Chain A
Amino acid sequence: MNRIEKKWKELKRKGLKAFIAFVTAGDPSLQDTYKLVLEMEKQGADIIELGVPFSDPIADGPVIQASAQRALLKGVNLNKIFQLVKELRKKTDVPLVFLSYYNPIFHYGVKKFVEDAVRYGIDGVIVADLPPEEAKELKIFSSKKWLDTIFLAAPTSSKERLIKVAKESTGFIYCVSVAGVTGVRNSLAQTLKNRVQDIKRITKKPVAVGFGVSNTKTAKWVASFADGVIVGSAIVKVVKDNLNSKDLIGKIGRLVENLALSIHKV
């Protein structure tokens, strides 16, 4: 059993929904990411997604694009992120999931990537531009290890595709709330609820909803029908607004605390 599976069991026992928080690794610096991860865990994040920056992030809106760009300018790469993970693992057992695009992984070498990810303490990987059809190589290696491969279910996915995504996913299923890129949105379509229920009829695996969840109200609503709520851009936006602030960690902590409360209360 890896840390993600343990976490879902623990949450289920307590009757809680999961709060999954995203930050880009290395924005504004790897030292800050280290502190942010520990703070977010302390304030109630159940699973933490670390964004692996990529130069051409086609599934991301302006907030996360700019964040990745800031990290790349600092010279962040997979090797350095693995060192960060290694340091984090001395302090925490919070489940850590990579959110990446395929090329940095492919270029690193898929086999080596999986081995190193597991060795340093990564529990799962989400690849934004890798549908199950193209994931054979990643699956071959990850299935031998305890590295979860989390695929995305989209609002446009047909039933056949949902079945495929559910079958190939381990850890949880990432349900994309809207057709579009990542980013802050004021509200989400009511149909999202039906979508999550469609997926839950297909699979017993946990379903977490991401893209556009940006305030406590939406987070609470999503938590009422999904197993987990993923918040990315709203957190990264606060990072961006506090790049030079001494209170960066504190501000993110308070945001995460509020989100965690609204999700866990459901």
Chain B
Amino acid sequence: MSSVFVGSVGLALLLVLLLMRIPVAFAMFAVGFIGIWILNGLQAATGLLSSETFALASNSELIVVPLFILMGNVASATGMSRKLYDAAYATIGQVRGGLASATVIGCGGFAALSGSSVASALTMGRTALAEMDRFAYSPRLSTGVVAAGGTLGILIPPSTGFVIYAILTEQSIGRLFMAGILPGILLLTAFLLTIALLCTLKPELGPRGPKTNAREKGRAFLGAVPILAIVVITIGGIYSGMFSPTEAAGVGAALVILIGAVTRTLTLRVFWDAARSSIVTTASVMLILIAAHMINPFVALSHLPAEVSRLLVALDFGPFGTLVVILAIYLVLGCFLEGLAMLVLTLPIFMPVVLQLGIDPIWFGVLVVLTLEMGLISPPVGINVFIVKSVARNVELLDIFRGVLPFWLAMLLTLALLVAVPSLSLWLPSMM
């Protein structure tokens, strides 16, 4: 039995288990564990299970997960996010889908800062979904916006995806950061156009709000001042070097708690419930991340990505054809694997080919990270979608995937545009 065969059967089995309503994390644990057992022995399987579980549960960079959830929970319990959305509604509520547009910008900004689309989906999911619901926005639109919005962050510096790509391929981090800016703006524009289009075709997705006068706008804005102040302090703190993006999660949570306590909107009871519910969501999200790290070594041991890539590269489609094929492989792998793991598994195989064909590695980097982010929202293993599901339990997963689909298509179009016009990625770094 070849290892590639075992790998393929394993991924097929994963798909079946998922569709059979086995919890996502359990299915990944089971397939990963048994797959590693077959390919590398029981000792390796038990060894990886323990080391991956403990390593991820004690990963200092993942502390942002519980902290941002806490921040989101307290902000909604104290009504701070409600006031933020009141302000947004008073300002752009008259536009169809206006709140969705505001949310997508918020998600992008949040992900850009935290460097993590997962953290963005968690925090914004907590607050934005309930708020948009309050203004009669369809859950299909709001969950789609939150799941997709976070993917903007990887193109806007600082981006973990670019740092890893740069280290793996020996490219300049600075040039990659520059290269991501225009595509990031382009993708944001594509998302905004998608929202506008959806709401024009189906106005009930994001209904128009009443007209407001300057005084109402002013009052709504005033209510949002505390939460806006927290946002400004957090952003300023990161860019001025007061604290790291990871620590910003803790500072943000502390500030929300502090303001809640000072304004007496946060009682001890409410505070405790918010904190307790934070660790429940944390457990659900972290278990999926841990389980994903059982699938990664299984797929590595099966040599599946290496063999598929070699085969396709050997077919020799010329520079443009090869580029398209490579991106297609990333799209397919992205359905199952976590993004950064995919980079590690595949770049060593693709990079020499890419360089040999004269494809600009900076341009390639932009295309690859964008494709990886698409994986976060593509079925069956769409981590961002699962995260939105974890905070929007009453919305069916299929509805979230349906809601995400238009944004996935917008990403695909953006990707096509970036492939067709390399200077969109390469113009800014060439100014350096």
Q: Answer whether A and B are interacting partners.
A: no
